[in-house]
Amino acid sequence: MALFTTPTKNQLVENAGDIVKTYVFTKIAVTSIVNGYATEISLVAIHQNDILRNMEMNMDNYKPPRIIDKLTIFLDAQQPIDKHLSAVFKLKTEDLHAAHKSAFDSDAVGLIYGFLERQEAPVCLVCHNGFRLDFPLLKHHLNSMDRSIDKISGSDLLCSDSLWTCKMLDASKESLTKRGVSVFDMLYYTQNSLHERLVNKPMPACLTCEEINMFLLEMCIRMGDTFVQSLCCKKFSDVVNTRNNKNTTICNNILATTENTGTFVFFDLETTGLINPKITEICMMAVNKSSLQATDVGAFPRVIDKLLVVVDPDEEIEPVASQLTKLSNVNISERNKATFGTNTSLLVAQFLNRQKGPVCVIAHNGDGFDFPILQSYLDSCVSDTFNNVYSADTLIGLRFLLQPVSDDAPKVSCALKDVYKRYFPQQPLESMHEAESDVVSLMKIVRANPELERWLDENKKLLIA
């Protein structure tokens, strides 16, 4: 097997960096290197503006861009994960078993396509060694469903291999198709080696797919215009599926289980303000209840599906809200983020539909804020998909559980930041009023309080009555 798949010159898109508007960093975890199947797919989308603004950033104190969309889905690959890859991706076969994840299905395709459709086109997938591994595997799974994502918003979906972009930079005066590939090349152009060259520190040996994407994002931002102008890119339609799709059934669902555990979906919105609020950001993280219960307090479950999108509210964002969330009409419009329409309603519906039911959506002050707003946005075309979806409010639960035993007892604050500090006094609470960070904090609070978890389960009600 070739170490790298060499792109031919007639496949490459010339001056691709001049046309790409959105880069979607892509990583797929697999059960095995040879004929393996996907267990996790992570997509991290940023606008080209954020790649090109590296000169404005303090790289000694690098932080990811504020406006970033994320999608992570886990898949039942129906075969055990190799021990080596299990360690590399920090993902065990039993983790997937306990989480009751679905196989790659129409909802998975819909989530990927809908996520890409929300981005400004032309869209380019970016992956390290993607020409050899990730892109053909994604094409294989799509073909197995007789589906295609070759066109996004009317434009060709592009894909770029950062390994070959870096090789082209190092061999700018040498014909790419004539350059030989040696063992030295393999070691020199691994993502870890390139990251160490550009960032002056190595990557950890074991990472989740999203973490791998975020490290690659940092590397590309540090390269900035050099990365954009040297983009080694081809059309996704030119990616060759190297497998036979006729035999896609691997085994008789060895990870299947009849246990009905249900799923918690932790949820948060950022909005234009408190008066007539419109959504500017939505985050959902789905974790199987048994997986959450098996996680150490203060830790983070490994198998978590994630949906994070920034939304154009199509209305003025109040200055106070903009200051808190770091989202403004200017930085959202500069990245041409889509409004919350049918596309986003379908994304939410497909995301929830992939989870093991019954599903309980959890938000802090959800009854008073997040749930009514979400309900007002959801398109009528997806209302039938919420029959087995419930909601529960942690603020109400905490007020019930922490209410003073007497009138003389001091009242206990149930604000999210105060509750978090009580449970995790040694862990700083960062990035308040950023949807993803708030969801992580809420999940950790629920895990730290089994009584609250039981209350949420016992007091859930239909999200859409």
Predicted confidence (pLDDT) per residue in 16-53, tens digit:
889 999 999 999 999 998 888 999 999 999 999 998 88
Q: Which two tokens stand for residue 458?
A: 């016992």
CA distances from 158 to 13, 21, 239, 299, 304 (A): 9, 11, 10, 37, 28
User: Encoding tokens for residue 63?
Assistant: 């932080």
What 8-state DSSP symbol labels residue 367?
A: I
Taking the alpha carbons of 112, 25, 435, 377 in that order, is the dihedral positive or negative? Answer: negative
Q: pLDDT above 70 covers what percent of the chain?
A: 87
Q: In this predicted model, which residue has the larger pLDDT, 69 or 426?
A: 69
Which is catalytic among the residues 97, 140, 364, 433?
433
Q: What is the DSSP string of 193-209?
A: HHHHHHHSSPPPSS--H
Residues 6+ apart with CB under 8 A from 454: none
Instruction: Please tell me the distance from the alpha carbon of residue 264 to that of residue 42, in angstroms, as a whole number.
Output: 20
Give the CB-side neighbour count of residue 306, counting CA atoms within 13 A: 25
Question: What does each C-alpha distance from 310 to 245, 282, 413, 433 come to in angstroms?
Answer: 36, 7, 30, 13
Q: Cα separation of 86 and 92, whole Å?
A: 5
Which carries the bigger pLDDT value, residue 465 or residue 426? 426
Per-residue pLDDT of 155-211, as tens digits, reads 999 999 999 888 888 776 443 334 454 545 667 788 998 888 888 888 998 999 999
Two tokens, residue 41: 């797919």
Separation CA 386–CA 353 (nearest Å): 8
Closest CA to 307 of 45, 25, 21: 45
Q: How far is CA 300 from CA 143, 359, 406, 422, in A?
A: 34, 19, 36, 18
Cβ atoms of residues 149 and 113 within 8 Å = yes
pLDDT of 258 reads 33
pLDDT band at 242 (very low <50, low <70, confident <90, very high): confident
Residue 251: the pLDDT is 37
Pairing of the two strands 389-393 and 69-74: unpaired
> Is the pLDDT assigned to residue 387 strictly greater than 50?
yes
> Could you confirm whether 433 is annotated as catalytic?
yes
| Residue type at 138 in one-letter notation | L
Question: Residue 392: what residue type?
Answer: A
End-to-end, the C-alpha distance of the chain in Å comes to 55
Summarised one tens digit per residue, pLDDT across range 316-344 is 999 999 999 999 999 999 999 999 999 99
Token digits for 403?
């209410």
Confidence tier at 127 by pLDDT (50, 70, 90) = very high
The confidence score (pLDDT) of residue 179 equals 47
Decide: helix, strand or coil at residue 108. Answer: helix
* Structural domains of the chain, with CATH: 9-247 (3.30.420.10), 263-462 (3.30.420.10)
**Predicted pLDDT at 202:** 87
Contact 294, 390 (CB under 8 A): no
Q: Where are the beta strands (DSSP E) in 258-409?
A: 263-271, 279-288, 305-310, 359-363, 389-393
DSSP 312-349: --SSPPPHHHHHHH---HHHHHTTTPPPSSHHHHHHHH
Query: Which residue, 69, 71, 41, is CA-closest to 285?
Result: 71
> What average pLDDT score do residues 82-106 get?
91
Q: What is the pLDDT of residue 260?
A: 43
Query: Residue 172 has what pLDDT?
Result: 64
Minimum mean pLDDT range among 297-306, 391-400, 421-430: 421-430
Other CB atoms within a 10 A radius of the CB of residue 458 amount to 9
Query: Of all residues in the chain, what percent carry a pLDDT higher than 90?
Result: 63
Which tokens sit at 17? 């960096």
Taking the model in full, what pTM does it have?
Answer: 0.91
Please report where in the chains the tokens 């379908």 appear, as a residue. 346
pLDDT band at residue 247 using 50, 70 and 90 as cut-offs: very low
Distance, CA of 288 to chain centre: 17
Angle (CA) 94-98-103 rounded to 5° is: 90
Q: Which secondary-structure segment (H or E) carries 137?
A: helix 134-144
Q: Are 338 and 312 in contact (CB under 8 A)?
A: yes
Question: Could you report the per-residue pLDDT of 436-461, keeping only the tens digit for each?
Answer: 999 999 999 999 999 999 999 999 99
CB atoms closer than 10 angstroms to residue 166 = 24
Q: What is the mean pLDDT of residues 276-289?
A: 96
